[in-house]
Amino acid sequence: MSLGIKKDDQVLVLSGKNKGDRRRVLHVIPSTKKAIVENVNFVVQHKKSRDPRNPGGRMERESPISLCKLMLICGKCGSPTRVGTKKLPDGAKVRICKKCKAEI
């Protein structure tokens, strides 16, 4: 899971209103195993403010979605895939697509 989904990955949304959509990851929050995904899980927040110069109002923004509801899309074969890891000769780890074995 740790090497799963990263910022700027293309992912498939597996559940919720946006199920089936292919979107880009904007931000990953490792502590909660959630991610902010572009245009997914939009919520409207009503902001209250006592400051007359900044009256608040409706604010729409993405709320975090659980990483287990997302699946990485491989850039090589274009299919949703589980992420594997491969160790390079220099010891670095890379993510690979379990379907086509390409590095992601």
Which H or E element spans position 44?
Answer: strand 42-47
Site for Zn ion in 56-75 (CB under 5 A): 74
What are the structure tokens assigned to 36, written together? 């902010």
Question: Does residue number 84 form part of the binding site for Zn ion (CB under 5 A)?
Answer: no
The smaller minimum CB distance to Zn ion, of residues 3 and 102, is found at 102
Beta carbon of residue 12, minimum distance to Zn ion (angstroms, whole number): 13
Question: Does residue number 94 form part of the binding site for Zn ion (CB under 5 A)?
Answer: no
The smaller minimum CB distance to Zn ion, of residues 28 and 97, is found at 97
Beta carbon of residue 103, minimum distance to Zn ion (angstroms, whole number): 10
Beta carbon of residue 42, minimum distance to Zn ion (angstroms, whole number): 29
- Closest by CA to 36, choosing from 78, 71, 67, is 67
- Which SS3 state, helix, strand or coil, does residue 30 take? helix
Q: Which of 77, 85, 86, 93 binds Zn ion (CB under 5 A)?
A: 77
Binding positions for Zn ion, rule: CB under 5 A: 74, 76-77, 97, 99-100, 102
